[in-house]
């Protein structure tokens, strides 16, 4: 299903819209309009335990972001006092996009922006 005009919605509005789409899906009341008009897809293979995959773009959409399972991993933590190794919850992201519309640098920059937003999200003021 397509969440229309997602760029104009708050996080809580997006959450409500997704819940509405889930209800429509379960009650088999989705319409053609609910399934068309998308420009970008977010897919979450992580709910099935996927560590990494390459999502396939649905034409005529411009891009698709793959979000994968979150697992605790040892990582290098850089500080002013020096590097240390710690355990952090980590998730791989992958992106597929139409190279006729987006170049590789733009796609990589987008994933970097998503990463920074996820790492610095203020959950207390999200709603």
The side-by-side arrangement of strands in the sheet containing 63-79 is 40-44, 63-79, 82-97
In the annotation, is 99 catalytic? Answer: yes
83 a catalytic residue: no
Q: Which of 59, 83, 99, 122 is catalytic?
A: 99
115: DSSP letter: H
- Dihedral pair phi/psi, residue 2, rounded to 5°: -105, 125
Q: In the chain, at which residue ranges do the beta strands (DSSP E only) sit?
A: 40-44, 63-79, 82-97
What whole-number distance in Å separates Cα of residue 60 and Cα of residue 56? 12
Catalytic site residues? 99, 103
């Amino acid at each position: 299903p397509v969440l229309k005009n997602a760029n104009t919605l708050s996080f809580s509005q997006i959450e409500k819209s997704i819940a509405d789409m889930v209800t429509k899906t379960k009650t088999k009341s989705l319409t053609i309009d609910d399934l068309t008009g998308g420009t970008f897809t977010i897919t979450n293979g992580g709910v099935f335990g996927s560590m990494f995959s390459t999502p396939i773009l649905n034409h005529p959409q411009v891009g698709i972001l793959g979000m994968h399972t979150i697992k605790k991993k040892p990582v290098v933590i850089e500080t002013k006092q020096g590097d240390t190794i710690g355990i952090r919850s980590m998730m791989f992201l992958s992106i597929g996009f139409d190279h006729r519309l987006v170049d590789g640098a733009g796609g990589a920059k987008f994933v970097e922006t998503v990463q920074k937003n996820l790492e610095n999200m203020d959950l207390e003021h999200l709603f």
